[in-house]
Amino acid sequence: MSQVKDEGPHRDARILTRAIETVLRRLSRLLIGRISLVKLQEMLRRVFVEEAIEKLGDSELSRTGALAELSVLTGLDIRTLKKMQTGIQARNEEIAGAGYLGELSPLFKVLDSWLNDSAFTEKHTREPLVLYLSGNEPSFDQLVRKALVSRGITTNQVLQRLRKSGLVTVNAENGTVKLQNKDNIFVASDVMDMLDMGLEAAGNLLATIEHNIANRQDSGNRFFQRGLWNYELPLYKKREIRADVHKFLVAIDKRGRDLMTSLAEPNIDDGHFTGGIGIFYFETERK
């Protein structure tokens, strides 16, 4: 059997696959436990199609054969694409809907039911009840079985994951489980801020890469994009190295903020755009 040479299209496919998997692997680490794979796939499919539609443009979509071209771009058949041609308003209404949060993750579904199902909340205050683990109603076992119909997930598996996440406490003496910190159960506020800022920064970097690819023949119009690292940093000096780099980047951050402020013109009539500088330190474990 002849071997496929690692050149031309085969090399391009290998590089592209590795690059995409690297990004998706790191994104997955952030999202595991916060969103289900099914919901993530659904989001990716919808966003991918929306971007493909944007790429074609309104004038192109109006012509005969546009759906076929869209099918070529996305790999989806025309019937599926017709079903997916929904507007932004419909998407916003879906996200705002009462059931959307519970669809993100099995754990979210359990917590959402605990907070909103009248069987598991106090009648007058609507506060989540302290539940018996099993047996007496209302029970945690009853909650899980009601929220996760036919998912093949056991009550004990859900309980252990919620305990590890610090979302519930169990009283072994009377056999009850209590929901903790109900105001921040889905994503703690500080974690949510870090996720929001971090993913925004990742998106900005991808936008820079997209711009530079589009302007690969025009070096004067490309955005500055650099990465620098060293493979021989000693493990025993990791904390010291982190501190030194942090001090250096704080100074760079101050200079960058001063520069961006000096370039701004708040009171003009012909519009504004947003521009910025991304600054971060990274580490990669050697395998």
Q: At 135, which CATH number?
A: 1.10.10
* Residue 217: predicted pLDDT: 92
CA distances for 213 relative to 22, 143, 222, 224, 255, angstroms: 19, 51, 8, 12, 28
User: First and final CA of the chain: distance in angstroms?
Assistant: 32
Q: Does residue 276 lie in a domain region? A: no
What is the C-alpha separation between 163 and 133, in angstroms, rounded? 13
Where does a domain end: 61, 81, 96?
96
Same-domain check for residues 16 and 81: yes
* Residue 98: predicted pLDDT: 46
Q: Does residue 260 lie in a domain region? A: yes
Q: Which domain holds residue 244?
A: 228-264
Same-domain check for residues 131 and 121: yes
Q: Looking at the 3D structure of the chain, how many domains does it have?
A: 4
Same-domain check for residues 160 and 110: yes
What is the C-alpha separation between 285 and 70, in angstroms, rounded? 40
Q: Does residue 283 lie in a domain region? A: no
Q: Does residue 117 lie in a domain region? A: yes
How do the pLDDT tens digits run along the chain, 287 residues long? Answer: 445 455 666 788 888 889 889 889 988 888 887 778 888 888 888 888 888 888 887 666 666 678 888 888 888 888 888 777 655 445 555 554 545 555 567 777 888 888 888 889 988 888 899 999 988 788 999 999 888 876 678 899 889 888 887 888 999 899 999 988 665 555 555 566 677 778 888 888 989 998 999 999 998 999 999 989 999 999 999 999 999 999 999 999 999 999 999 999 988 888 888 899 999 898 887 66
Same-domain check for residues 90 and 121: no
* Residue 102: predicted pLDDT: 52
Where does a domain end: 166, 184, 202?
184
Q: Does residue 250 lie in a domain region? A: yes
Question: Which tokens belong to 191?
Answer: 């974690």
Same-domain check for residues 132 and 150: yes
Q: Does residue 279 lie in a domain region? A: no
Identify the residue whose tokens are 């099914």.
38
Where does a domain end: 56, 76, 96?
96
Same-domain check for residues 14 and 80: yes
Same-domain check for residues 19 and 32: yes
Same-domain check for residues 67 and 41: yes
Same-domain check for residues 149 and 205: no
Q: Does residue 1 lie in a domain region? A: no
Same-domain check for residues 57 and 125: no
Same-domain check for residues 91 and 139: no
What is the C-alpha separation between 287 and 285, in angstroms, rounded? 6
Cβ atoms 168, 129 nearer than 8 A: no
What is the C-alpha separation between 62 and 58, in angstroms, rounded? 6
Q: Does residue 35 lie in a domain region? A: yes
Same-domain check for residues 68 and 19: yes
For 149, half-sphere exposure in the C-beta direction (CA atoms, 13 angstrom radius) is 2
